[in-house]
Chains A and B, each alone.
Chain A
Amino acid sequence: MNEAERIVLIGVSKFYGEVLGVNNVDLTIGPGLTGLVGPNGAGKSTLMNLLTGLIKPTKGSVRILGISPGSPELLFRKVGLCSQWDSFPPGATGLALLEATLMMHGLARRTARERALEALETVGLTAAAGRKVDGYSKGMKQRVKLANALCHNPQVLFLDEPLNGLDPQGRSEMIDILKERAGRGHHVLVSSHILHEVDLISDTIIMMHGGRVVAEGAIRDVRQEIVDRPVQILIRCDRPERVAARAFEMAHVVAAQILDQGGGLIVSTRDGQSFFSNLPRIVVDEGLAVETVVPADEDVRAVYDYLIGPEGGQG
């Protein structure tokens, strides 16, 4: 994949005087849905703003599909941003806002209006199209921001905390829209501090803390790189105490915790591969009925806790 198909940041730093925004970030982001996670103040919004040229890097370079953010006339034909800010021009209706955006993309007023209405329909705002955005609820403002970001059908979509303020149905609909865009091969980068939602959205993450990228890639790969933490494996079965007893015969198993309800256990091991190799023999020897065997800590929450610490996050 060449630079014209990727988002590339090389040695990007941003300082606000003495205050650190992001520090020496190197990233390459391919198509699909990528979650950008980190606690408040980690540098997520700064990164989004650097990617869209709303702020300039103190050093380093940014390229979006080969385009510099310093060329907005080229960049925003391919990029849409759903920003963190909820403010809109006073008196603007949802329809007028999108219509103006689309006219800037070269559409005639009538076509712009039609496309604006389509985008508003996509986010479920048809009925409120003619109302002033100032009067929208927080959730409606999130929707109109999304509509404004995607109305020109960009190849790259950046979303800064897009799920804030949405009700459960709204979140589900928003996630469906993002997955649909990613399914078309577009780049979708979603920042969030709500970790279980990132798990729902994306298999690939960028984890930030203190202005630095502390991990990036597929969640499973990131987890496997954390070698100082034993792998946790959830086994749902009958007679979990027998599994625990046999597991402790393996030197790499460091803990086995029977679940409160008794229907299974969590095994902690320093060698997941060996454990998975030996497990079928245990099952056959003991005549166990096994329901599921799954990694218990290959999710964003666990990775986040290992790398950043539970106090760093919310949700």
Chain B
Amino acid sequence: MNAGFRVRQMKTVAGVDFRRTLGGRRTLGLVLFCSIPVVIALVRTFVFPEGARMDVGRTTHELAQIFSLFHLRFIVFFGCAFLFVKSFRGEVLQHTLHLTLLLPIRRSDLIIGKYFGALAVALSVLLPSTLALVVFYRLANGVARTFQLMTTSQGLGHLAAYLGITALAAVGYGALFLLAGLFFRNPMVPAALYLGFEALAPYLPFPIRVFSIGRHLHALLPVPVSLGPLAVTGSDTPGWLAIILILGVAAVAVRLAGWRAQGFEVDYS
């Protein structure tokens, strides 16, 4: 079976999963969940604008904190948990996995297709959420000032960094949660376990710490944030290495998920 055909099969799986997930009723809940940061940004801008309107530095810093401590840690993290665990485990719960496993495709390829299908949905929902958070939060500085800020190289750079971090978070967390979906029925269980792992990561040896996506993402933030108790723990990893490590962890997780899928048995009991 040639590589081109296998890629086409993976694209078909991704496309079918993307359409089914995005058209599903549960995705509306996810969209509403991802709208929370936008609501927070709007409240900050229009309900409590005092003090920030004239202070660009303050909104920049607040935005970085909101993004790091809330958007990344809560919205992106749990949004990925929901989407990627559901990608495989959801089919077990819906009793439709057998239909997928009866297709003429290697299970490892099937997993890759499902990963990219879920990733496409995640990016479709999370990137607009990040974009809206950044733009609406900046509105605290006034519309004209926001426009001016967003069109400077620094403003655009920050926006690109936030979007890039969101995408990398989806890539990394998504792969880990896809793998978790082959072991856990409830996405909250691996999500809670992984949150615990990330909190402990700074105290763990380097080879284990590498699997902390949050640490690597933190290294990419365009603005340093003060670290509270729930913050992503700081990392001195250079940006380029952080990106490579995230992609590497994702590749390993997807590969492991493929191996796990080889031996997966259909059991709806």
Contact = CB atoms under 8 A, between A and B. Distances in A.
Nearest to B107: A72
B58 interface: no
B105 A73 contact: yes
A80 B103 CA distance: 9
Contacts of A83: 98, 102
Interface in B76-128: 94-96, 98-99, 101-107, 109
Nearest to B265: A55
Nearest to B106: A73
A90 interface: yes
A92 B103 CA distance: 16
A100 interface: yes
Contacts of B262: 70
B20 A72 contact: no
B7 to A, nearest CB: 12
B98 A85 contact: yes
A105 B5 CA distance: 9
B118 to A, nearest CB: 15
B96 A91 contact: no
B28 interface: no
B24 interface: yes
Interface stretch (B8-16, B46-54, B228-236): B8-16
Contact of A54 (B20, B94, B103, B266): B266
A168 interface: no
A242 interface: no
Nearest to A78: B104
A153 B98 CA distance: 19
Contacts of B25: 90
A49 B268 CA distance: 13
B94 A90 contact: yes
Interface size band for B: 20 to 34
Given A73-B106, A104-B9, A56 B99 contact: no
A101 B101 CA distance: 11
Contacts of A72: 101-107
Nearest to B20: A89
A49 B25 CA distance: 31
A76 interface: yes
A88 interface: yes
B236 to A, nearest CB: 45
B238 interface: no
A104 B105 contact: yes
Given A90-B24, A91-B20, A77 B104 contact: yes
A88 B96 contact: yes
Interface of B: 1, 5, 8-9, 12-13, 16, 20, 23-25, 94-96, 98-99, 101-107, 109, 262-263, 265-268
11 contacts: A56-B263, A76-B102, A81-B102, A85-B95, A87-B95, A88-B96, A90-B24, A104-B9, A104-B105, A106-B9, A148-B99
Closest 5 pairs (CB-CB, A-B): A87-B95, A76-B104, A54-B266, A55-B265, A104-B103
Interface of A: 49, 52-56, 70-77, 80-81, 83, 85, 87-92, 97, 100-101, 103-106, 148, 152
Given A54-B265, A76-B104, A85-B95, 19 more contacts: A49-B266, A52-B102, A72-B104, A72-B107, A73-B1, A75-B104, A76-B102, A76-B103, A77-B104, A80-B102, A81-B102, A85-B98, A88-B96, A89-B94, A89-B96, A89-B99, A91-B24, A104-B103, A148-B99
